[in-house]
Structure 1
Amino acid sequence: MARAGDLMNSLERLEGLSTSLLAHSREATVSSHAAEVIDAYESLDPKDRAAYFGFLRDEMTVDHDALRSAATSYLESPDEAGAVALGTASEPVRREFLRLLNTAPGGTRSIVDMRRDLLELLSKDPGLRVVDAAFLHVLRSWFNQGFLELRRLDWSTPAAILEKLIAYEAVHAIVGWDDLRRRLESDRRLYAYMHTALPDEPLIFVEVALVDRLVGSIEDVLTQPPAVDLAEPTTAIFYSITNTQPGLSSISFGNFLIKQVMGELQREIPTLETFSTLSPIPGFLVWLRGQSDEDLEWMDSGARARLPALNGTEWIDFPWAQQDLEPVLMQAAAHYLYTVKRPGSDPPRPIDSVARFHLRNGASIHRLNWMGDPSPKGLGESAGMLVNYLYDADAVVANVEAFVGDGTIAASDQIKELAAGRTVPATDVASR
């Protein structure tokens, strides 16, 4: 019982410190008050942290009397000054609280971590979304494009940062320092967005292979020795993009990152003509296994009859089984990427999250690659297939406008043919 009482006292103390921080907002000691709040929060267990977010929701709200007064004044005299006053009155107190919290040493880092904790609670307590809205509001302003530094990371980068790359890589795991060094060789590039408030933390990073052709196999990217004779690469392959901070979820860095890296590479290497990704299709097999015969009526009946083989893993071990399933799975994957939409999206958006990201940035679905990633993860997610999203500088703006406007997806003729259930010659789609 004593321990439970101590925990309750810790929570009550934190609530008191938080209220006091707002009261001392104009004092020189505000930074030390903010540090006390952060220390007190970090001492709580998960249950009491959840209760504290409830306190932020219930106690640090909008001043409704002030808002009502400002609204009345604006309606009576709808001028610019009244609009400003109305906007100020409509802001919940918790936003200003977070700004004050940011004055503590390392405050930004702590607020990002607090939001990580908060996001884990939203599915169980949707009422906390109003608290998340305050976190997201301030973090978007602190982490906008103007505060980000694009930095090329290489073998001379401090070890504290390089270690983070190994720990954070989420698409194709970096297996130790030798693997990392290969990804930083002269025919490779790794760029990250950095922020002064998190100096040793890459917020997002992209890995690039400089090659002489469009690549369809991740093994070719990760295991090939450095190309010592490749003086004039023609193709840049973006093969991995990793967001590192869960607490910065919903703050878009990737769209700026890819376009800025393209510009950097074009300036450094004028011979580059083609910019493409080599991307996973993470939800494909889960989607396909959930389809009924009715859902797959667009597919030839003979092709549908081969799909039950996917319920096991034996097909992976037999070349004849792979050959039998390849055209069926290629059609299904193209259909999934090009045709299947996210429920409730308006305008319609692809169900695949990676496709949404690249299409929103102006890419086109260019090519599917059979057995592009035969790792256990690749086989489990997409039957080993990878996809190239092509970034054509001359088409990016038009592609974005069409996708944002009415959901139109830019895709190659081969992808469109496959998505319609038609067979495409092997020369038109990468197959290994």
Structure 2
Amino acid sequence: MSEKGDELKPPKEVRKVFEVFQGLRDDKGIEEVINKLQKKYKGLDRKEKEALFFLLNNKLEIRKDELTPILNEIAETTEDSTLWPVRLQRLRSRVRSPRLAIFQRIAKNPGGIRFLLDFREDLINSKRTADLDFAALDADLAFLLEMLFQEGFLYLEEITLDSPYSQIEIIKDRDMVHPMTSLEEMGKRLGKDRRCFALYHRLLPLEPIVFIEVALTQGLVRNISDIVGAAEREIRDKDLDTAIFYSINNTQNGLAGLGMGKMLIVRVVDFLRSENERIKTFATLSPIPGFWEQYLRPILEGNDEPFLLKKEDIPGFFSRKARGKILQFAESSDDSVEGFCKALQQVFSGTEWVNDSDLKRHLKGPMVKMAYHYISKERNLKGKPLNPVAGFHLGNGATVTEKCVNFLANTSAKGLKESCSIMVNYIYSPSWITQIRRSFKWLERLEIRSFFGR
């Protein structure tokens, strides 16, 4: 634990909330206590919540003197003794986390699951910014939520034009990948070859946990305008052979890392294959958030210490002719590493380059190679892909090659700012579906609902 954690002095209000948590060990008036807890917790600011997380993580624990007697008994017992299973069971009951027991009581009460989801979202945000270790607290919460968000609690629902207005509006408002400005725009994403599926929890029926938007197409789609900006489509059912997952949104950040997106993808794949056996290819058309602002631009500026790709490597991706074209566009004659990187940064800091056909032709190959390097080679401190979208899909078992990286795939303002117009097709193979089905055997029994059918 860091020195910062040792010195953390919880304010009076934090102490009060912590005491309410401790009070949940007792069954007396539990509903009233939980209501009090929710009200007091909402009144805490970010720093106060961090102090509370510290107390729950470090002070609400099993005491050593509670375990010593049973550990001594086990050490003195042989495995063939009739007392061995008895004493093991006593140990299991003693080491049960007091936090987990409290969270379970909260979950059983009205509004309890919603509170725990919001609580873990705050905890995850604190873990990213605070110099404190909340691993034990998060492990208890994650364990409980995994139990609560499994078979019997979840159902899949297809969102159609006949779905309630409130559900369609939620999808419209929560799509952060390709935001929409109107319900009419949302309506264009619902139809025979544009589908939307959402995963719900039975105790949270008015708000999806995670949803996915799918385009049924003929062949692999490499440009987002062919999906969300396309005119009326006239592809016959028999010609549809590919499902493109182009927008996946997690609406409950408190469930991060628990595999909800993976569950949704595999169930939707199963459903679409049962509906149309001609659909053989399942892939994404995914953005590369952070490619420009958090990766390539810092490297061009010389802030390349965290990355495998270095500033001096950049010119080597471009031919001499391409470098000349970029320098000409930036009105520069400095062909040194510093000069070229400054010119390339100038190109992508604006949007005018999109209108220069010759420049785009020279940018395509090098930018595809650098983007592929970013998603396939660059890693964070935990050894996972630096890009979160790549981490999600590759972690799920999808594959990607350089041929799957598409330049000029999203020339919207958002696409240019995020990734210099680049998008990626991550491919989900049939063998992946079989493997995941073995991992989540209960997925085949996941109920599929639709308000009015298709």
Which amino acid letter does the alignment assign opposite residue 207 of structure 1? Answer: E
> Which residue in the other structure is 1:49 paired with?
49
Instruction: State the shift of 1:344 in Å.
Output: 5.2
Partner of 1:258, secondary structure, is: helix
The C-alpha deviation readout for 1:290-318, integer Å capped at 9, x for no partner, is 14245559746748945634302243342
> Which residue in the other structure is 1:221 paired with?
227
Which amino acid letter does the alignment assign opposite residue 271 of structure 1? Answer: R
> Which residue in the other structure is 1:412 paired with?
none
Structure 1, 77-86 or 96-105: larger mean CA deviation = 77-86
Q: 1:398 to 1:255 in 2, by over 3 A?
A: closer
Instruction: State the shift of 1:188 in Å.
Output: 0.9
Which amino acid letter does the alignment assign opposite residue 374 of structure 1? Answer: T
Which amino acid letter does the alignment assign opposite residue 359 of structure 2? Answer: A
Q: Take 2:38 and 2:436, find their aligned partners in 1: how far apart are those partners? A: 45
What is the TM-score of this pair, normalised by structure 1?
0.81
Q: 1:234 to 1:301 in 2, by over 3 A?
A: closer
Instruction: State the shift of 1:324 in Å.
Output: 1.6
1:338 aligns with 2:344: no
Which residues in structure 2 correspond to 1:117-136 (within 5 Å)?
117-122=122-127, 123-136=129-142
Which amino acid letter does the alignment assign opposite residue 158 of structure 2? Answer: R
Note if contact 1:361-1:396 (Cα within 8 Å) is conserved in structure 2: no
Instruction: State the shift of 1:145 in Å.
Output: 5.0
> Which residue in the other structure is 1:63 paired with?
63
The C-alpha deviation readout for 1:54-77, integer Å capped at 9, x for no partner, is 332343112322223333233323
What is the TM-score of this pair, normalised by structure 2?
0.77
Note if contact 1:185-1:226 (Cα within 8 Å) is conserved in structure 2: no
Q: Take 2:321 and 2:366, find their aligned partners in 1: how far apart are those partners? A: 6
Which residues in structure 2 correspond to 1:198-213 (within 5 Å)?
198-213=204-219
> Which residue in the other structure is 1:411 paired with?
none
Note if contact 1:359-1:400 (Cα within 8 Å) is conserved in structure 2: no
1:281 aligns with 2:315: no
1:369 aligns with 2:406: yes
Which residues in structure 2 correspond to 1:13-412 (within 5 Å)?
13-23=16-26, 25=27, 27=28, 29-77=29-77, 78=79, 79-122=84-127, 123-144=129-150, 147-232=153-238, 233-285=240-292, 286-289=294-297, 290=299, 291-295=309-313, 299=317, 302=320, 305=323, 308=341, 309-312=343-346, 313=350, 314-343=352-381, 345=383, 349-366=384-401, 367-394=404-431
CA RMSD of aligned residues (A): 2.9
> Which residue in the other structure is 2:446 paired with?
none
Instruction: State the shift of 1:326 in Å.
Output: 1.1
Q: Take 2:278 and 2:233, find their aligned partners in 1: how far apart are those partners? A: 16
Instruction: State the shift of 1:374 in Å.
Output: 0.7
> Which residue in the other structure is 1:4 paired with?
none
Structure 1, 288-297 or 111-120: larger mean CA deviation = 288-297
Instruction: State the shift of 1:83 in Å.
Output: 3.4
Note if contact 1:218-1:278 (Cα within 8 Å) is conserved in structure 2: yes
Instruction: State the shift of 1:189 in Å.
Output: 0.8
Note if contact 2:242-2:279 (Cα within 8 Å) is conserved in structure 1: yes
Instruction: State the shift of 1:239 in Å.
Output: 0.5
How many residues of Structure 1 are paired with residues of Structure 2 in the alignment? Answer: 389
Structure 1, 204-213 or 11-20: larger mean CA deviation = 11-20
Q: Take 1:83 and 1:387, find their aligned partners in 2: how far apart are those partners? A: 51
Q: Take 2:174 and 2:271, find their aligned partners in 1: how far apart are those partners? A: 24
Structure 1, 261-270 or 219-228: larger mean CA deviation = 219-228
Highest RCO, 1 vs 2 (Cα 8 Å, sep ≥ 6): 2
Q: Take 2:34 and 2:243, find their aligned partners in 1: how far apart are those partners? A: 46
The C-alpha deviation readout for 1:311-369, integer Å capped at 9, x for no partner, is 02243342222122111111222232334444552xxx543332232223232215222
Q: Take 1:145 and 1:67, find their aligned partners in 2: how far apart are those partners? A: 35
Q: Take 1:49 and 1:341, find their aligned partners in 2: how far apart are those partners? A: 30
Note if contact 1:30-1:103 (Cα within 8 Å) is conserved in structure 2: no
Q: Take 2:201 and 2:54, find their aligned partners in 1: how far apart are those partners? A: 30
Instruction: State the shift of 1:199 in Å.
Output: 1.4
Note if contact 2:158-2:198 (Cα within 8 Å) is conserved in structure 1: yes
Q: 1:298 to 1:142 in 2, by over 3 A?
A: farther
Q: Take 2:382 and 2:30, find their aligned partners in 1: how far apart are those partners? A: 46
Partner of 1:239, secondary structure, is: strand
Q: 1:246 to 1:8 in 2, by over 3 A?
A: same
Which amino acid letter does the alignment assign opposite residue 371 of structure 2? Answer: A
Task: Give unpaired runs (5+ residues) of structure 2.
Answer: 1-9, 300-308, 327-339, 439-454
Which amino acid letter does the alignment assign opposite residue 291 of structure 2? Answer: F
The C-alpha deviation readout for 1:255-297, integer Å capped at 9, x for no partner, is 1211111100011122212211111122333323314245559
Q: 1:200 to 1:400 in 2, by over 3 A?
A: closer
